[in-house]
Structures are given as C-alpha cells and as structure tokens.
Amino acid sequence: MREVPSPRQIVLAEDNPADVELVREALHEHDVRCELLVISDGEKISTFIDKLDLDTKLPCRDLLPLDLHLPRHDGAEVLKHLRASERCGQTPVVVLSSSELTADQQNAGKNAAVHYFRKPGSLHQFMQLGKIVKELMSRPQLS
C-alpha cells in the first residue's frame, strides 16, 4: 500500500479578501493540492515565523506568497524577517504586488524572493499564479 503524501503547506500573506479568493481559485485551477493558511497582517506573519523558529514540532511552510503592502509590517520587512529565520529562512517566496515600480521588483530580488508576480487586471492573467506555484512546488528543493 502506497503512502499518500501529505499536502503542501502554504502560508499566504495577503490583506485583500478579493485577492485571497483569487489566489485560492488560481491554486484550484492548476490543481495545486495544499493546505492554505492566510495571514492578513505583517506583524502577525512575523510572529508566526517566530513561533516556527521556537517550536521544532511545527513545520516550516513550503511556500510564502507575500503581498508587499501589508498593514503593520510591509512585505519587505516580513521577507527580511523570514530570511533571518534560523529554521525557515530558505522558504521560497513569491512576492505579490500591484506595483509597477522597478524598485519594488528589485527589492524583492535583493531579499531573495524566488518570483515577483505583479497582480494583473484580468482574471485569466491572475490564474497564472497557480501555474507559477505549481512549478515552484515541483522543484527538487521543495520535494
């Protein structure tokens, strides 16, 4: 009897409920099987990272889609905090932003985001996020 693999664990840092639903739909459309935890506040996601560092029984997440514009701590602060994490510092991050600023893209790259996804205006384009996540989840370092 084959063991069924446990679903991937993704924590989504996003404060816009409409974007949360679009992310869920994109993951569903591309058959990304995962447990999705949504945290809508930068300070809360930083606290979550700290809890993972302190409790080795809690698993680090397989992926963090991260909105750049979160309340209380912005995405750049959260990404720096994650990269400083002893246990979970290597967690892949997809930065989500509606910003077209080159500086936002460069800062995401400097802070070791694996992908910068500009939130598009169309549903079809937003669904491409599911494809990106599926490709990232199939990389050997995430297996």
Residue 112 has pLDDT above 90, yes or no: no
Residue 143 has pLDDT above 50, yes or no: no
Question: Kind of pairing, strands 115-118 and 93-97?
Answer: parallel
Structure tokens at 100: 């077209």
Q: How confident is the model at residue 19 (pLDDT cuts 50, 70, 90)?
A: very high
80-96 pLDDT, tens digit per residue, is 999 999 999 999 999 99
48: β partners: none
**What is the DSSP secondary structure assignment for residue 41, as one 8-state letter?**
-
| Mean pLDDT value of segment 69-85 | 93
**Higher pLDDT among residues 68 and 12, named by residue:** 12
**pLDDT cut 90: percent of the chain above it:** 66
Determine whether domain 8-136 maps to CATH 3.40.50.2300: yes
In contact, 71 and 91? CB cutoff 8 Å: no
Q: How confident is the model at residue 114 (pLDDT cuts 50, 70, 90)?
A: confident
Give the start-to-end residue ranges of the domains of the chain: 8-136
What pTM was estimated for this model as a whole? 0.86
